[in-house]
Structure 1
Amino acid sequence: MKAYKTLLVFFLILFSFSCSSDLDFDQANDIELRPVVIGNLASFDLVANQFVNNGLEQTVSIDTPELGVFDDTFFKKNLIQTDLFFEVDNTINRAFELQLFFLDNANAPVSSIRMDIPAYAGTSNVTKRTVVYQGANLDLLKQSKKIAFVITLLPGPPLSAASVGNLKLRSSITAYFDIK
């Protein structure tokens, strides 16, 4: 027991003489975070016969989802770059034009993206595109409230209610932030 007390006193004396430098807590004010967030943007899977209505071919407008993320002040203030990735898989024997319109409060386009999708010819037919928004283009994108998808049939073999194949879109967003 006496050795235990002696050892305890020794460590107390040792710790009371320990050194510490001046700590600079103001360094916390200089911290800079640069997180990257990846998420799904939109997707659809259209069957060939959805482009035919009462025997007539038609342009298809997909749902116009709202982009509520740009309403957030934190998001607007700290977002420095956005990469939008699109992948379209066409197994329909027909070429398409895909247009994406980013719309403001008045449904006026502030930005758009156009993709030409070739017709299916029996082999893998995947079209990929990445669009990067920075600076002034990013400022325009931040005004977006909705995104509209418009798919237009290009000239080719006629489609009918019995036509087979699909047009599939997958898309994602990579958002880069600078938090100070």
Structure 2
Amino acid sequence: MKSSGIHKITSLLVLIFLSFSCSSDLDFDQIDDLKLEPVVVANLTYFNIPANDFIDNGNEQNIAFDAQDFNPFRNSLMREDLIKAEFNFEITNTINRAYKIDLVLIDAQNNTIETLSFDAPANSGNSNVLNFTEVFENQRLANLKRTVKIGFVLTMAAGPPLTENSVGNLKLRSDATLYFVIED
């Protein structure tokens, strides 16, 4: 009996306490001050070329070129709200030849906007993993937003001859870290 009386008194005190709680008017105009700053990581490009792909009819091909469509900037979010982009590259060369890798940013008129160059030393038996980061902000970002294609130019340096039986690969993996500011 005493416990039910204590229970009733406790319940009454809780109700009294809750009736004196603070409240404020809701300000739905705060939505006008909305500012989102998301960061997105996405794959950019990838290739894995075996050493014997640099041989054509028994002859070494010192230069290779490939262009791909690249137009994420047709999306208004990418054009208007992107404030910074970081391209991260990981290059692994297990071929016994050095390479220069040029990533060419190309506009709608097939003009080169910018060329990013990376050196991949010949395989030395050690870990040949190289990491590079390119940051695009301000005018450089504005130029990047004009890109509609990316091209790769691979140039093989002098060294031991490659054959159809040559081993190893030239790999490139990359991603983009994109920084946005979205305001209403």
For 2:128, give the aligned amino acid: N
Structure 2 residue matching 1:158: 3-state secondary structure: coil
Within the alignment, does 1:107 sit opposite 2:110 as a pair? yes
RMSD, aligned CA: 2.0
Give the TM-score, by structure 1 length: 0.87
Counterpart of 2:174? 171
Q: What is the aligned length?
A: 171
Give the TM-score, by structure 2 length: 0.86
Structure 2 residue matching 1:75: 3-state secondary structure: helix
Counterpart of 2:50? 47
Counterpart of 2:39? 36
Counterpart of 1:161? 164
Structure 1 residue matching 2:153: 3-state secondary structure: strand
For 1:27, give the aligned amino acid: Q
Shift of 1:23: 2.5
* In 1, Cα distance between equivalents of 2:111 and 2:163: 34
Counterpart of 2:81? 78
For 1:130, give the aligned amino acid: T
Change (3 A) 1:19 1:89: closer
Counterpart of 1:61? 65
Percent same amino acid at aligned positions?
45
Q: Structure 2 regions of 5+ residues with no counterpart?
A: 1-10
Q: Structure 1 regions of 5+ residues with no counterpart?
A: 1-6
